[in-house]
Structure 1
Amino acid sequence: MLAMQYGFDLPDDFDMDTLRRRIPEIGGRFDALPHLHLKAFLLAGRTATAPNRYAPFYLWDDPAGAAGFVTSPDFAAVQARYGRPLVHGWNPIAHLQGPAAGQVPRFATQYFENLPDTTDLVQRAADERDAAAELASAPVVHSVFAGLDAQGWQVNRTVLWQGPPPASAAGRVFELLYLSAPRGVRSSGTGDAART
């Protein structure tokens, strides 16, 4: 498994509703990507400390799927629309389903932390597995991914939530506008139902 993400910061006056309308229309195109475990279309509005952001998050069952996607016409269309993004990747430390795994998630939180050279990686990985297990026990959690970028030495903790995350949740909160998940629950594209 491999996690992959790219994102785009959007101007303060960008009409976010255009993406809220567009994403459910195009989301189904990604439901059958080879080797895709899931793709979460994430959108966050501007805050006092962060700009508007569109940031698709992918989990691939096989890294070959990621390579195939970034060299595909679909990714070329992303580049044509927004410019070529930096594509980040994380190897899994933990990936757990929560009690809401059978429901369509509507929100996500993402927490990133850069690790100093003095980090005990054995202990940190154990801590991330423990944190993932604790998060995955919450009733509204769909799934939890914790991963490590061993080039940039960064930890990524991404949680998909069926309902609004608690105020105590670490990281930035995103709307999850469509979920492509070939082997599980995914968005219907209408926001009303799920299909498996």
Structure 2
Amino acid sequence: MHAMQYEITLPADYDMDVIRHRVASKGHLLDTFPGLGFKAYLMRERGRDGSPVNQYAPFYLWNTAEGMNSFLWGPGFQGLVDDFGRPVVQNWTVLAYEEGDAPGAVPRVAVRRHQRIPAPARLPELAGELAAEARRLVREGGASSALAAVDPRTWEAVHFSLWEHEAPDGLGDVFQVLHLSSPEREKLPRGRQW
């Protein structure tokens, strides 16, 4: 599995209803996209939930590399590039993915946290800790789903979780979920991925 996100930071006075309208009119286009576990259409507004910026920042969890490539090299992503310019696309290899007791729950918020992996870290133990954190967020924290993933080029981990209610404070950057396309969510393998 591959996790992917790009961030489009917008001016402080940007009308975020433009993003809401964009998602309302185009979000459904990926509801049946092959190879896509889910796409969370995410937005942050300056001054809300501690956000310092206005930002559109969709997060994807891909079942297949073919699906991810079809999107990146297809008309959907090109439309975003035409409207906002070509963003840097962050990409992580998923170490663990967990679902809560209500996998069909509609998330209201998402939380993302980046974690630098120090050079002296023992990678097998750290991978186990990252997987355990995803499991804990779902089993004890109340997240509807959570994942841990790593970019081995930069040795950075990302923790990502979806919540059908407000997330606990201090977990990371909080995003509003405007829409969730989840054509192959039920096919996402659960637990650790090694």
Instruction: Tell me the TM-score normalized by structure 2.
Output: 0.89
Q: What amino acid is the match of 2:78? A: A
1: CA distance between counterparts of 2:25 and 2:164? 21
Pairing of 1:13-92 with structure 2 (within 5 A): 13-47=13-47, 50-92=52-94
1:81-109 Cα deviation digits (max 9, x unpaired): 11001111111111000123221111100
Q: Secondary structure at the match of 2:33?
A: coil
The answer to whether the Cα contact below 8 Å between 2:63 and 2:184 also exists between their aligned partners in 1 is: no
Query: What's the counterpart of residue 150 of structure 2?
Result: 148
2: CA distance between counterparts of 1:22 and 1:126? 39
2: CA distance between counterparts of 1:142 and 1:53? 23
Pairing of 1:115-126 with structure 2 (within 5 A): 115-126=117-128
Q: What amino acid is the match of 1:183? A: E
Q: What amino acid is the match of 2:68? A: A
1:137-163 Cα deviation digits (max 9, x unpaired): 147421001101111111000000011
Query: What's the counterpart of residue 192 of structure 2?
Result: none
Unmatched runs of 5 consecutive residues or more in structure 2: 187-194
Runs of 4+ in 1 over 4 A off after TM superposition: none
2: CA distance between counterparts of 1:125 and 1:87? 23
Query: What's the counterpart of residue 176 of structure 1?
Result: 177
Quick one: percent identity of the two aligned structures?
Answer: 35
Q: Secondary structure at the match of 2:112?
A: strand
Q: Secondary structure at the match of 1:164?
A: coil
Q: Secondary structure at the match of 1:182?
A: coil
C-alpha spacing 1:96/1:55, structure 2 compared with 1 (3 Å): same
1: CA distance between counterparts of 2:133 and 2:6? 24
Provide the aligned C-alpha RMSD in A. Answer: 1.6
The count of residues paired between Structure 1 and Structure 2 equals 184
2: CA distance between counterparts of 1:69 and 1:126? 31
The answer to whether the Cα contact below 8 Å between 2:5 and 2:58 also exists between their aligned partners in 1 is: yes
1:15-59 Cα deviation digits (max 9, x unpaired): 112212321221110112121110000101114763111111111
For CA contacts below 8 A with separation 6 or more, give which structure has more relative contact order: 2
